[in-house]
Amino acid sequence: MPRRKTKEPNKRKVIVLNDDVTTFDFVTRMLVQIFFMEEDEARRTTNAIDQNGSAVVGVYPVDIAKSKAEAGMAMARAENFPLRITTEDV
């Protein structure tokens, strides 16, 4: 009997965009809480976002990527930050 190939789910990159209002500490905390980064990795990623204008913070199946992006922006809105998080195809 031939083996069926299982198709990998479509993946999306989650990208955090820099702005001049959202604090470094908030972005670091959001990366730890929502993207489950270790504190050191979250700080390095926050630095990359600050220096480069954006950074990919993870690659996930489409539904998870969208959920994490929405959760990060909801957390930011709750603290009155304009943080933007987008997703794009891998």
Pull the structure tokens for residue 5.
């190939």
Summarised one tens digit per residue, pLDDT across range 7-34 is: 777 999 999 999 999 999 999 999 999 9
In a domain? residue 77? yes
Residue 23 lies in domain: 11-89
Task: Give tens-digit pLDDT for 27-69.
Answer: 999 999 999 999 999 999 999 999 999 999 999 999 999 999 9
Tell me, what CATH number does 39's domain have?
3.30.1390.10
The total number of structural domains that make up the chain: 1
One-letter amino acid at 26 equals: F
66 domain-assigned: yes
* Residue type at 43 in one-letter notation: R
Give this prediction's pTM.
Answer: 0.90
pLDDT of residue 37: 98
46 located within any domain = yes
- The answer to whether position 2 is within a domain reads no
Task: Give dist(CA 3, CA 70) in Å, integer.
Answer: 38
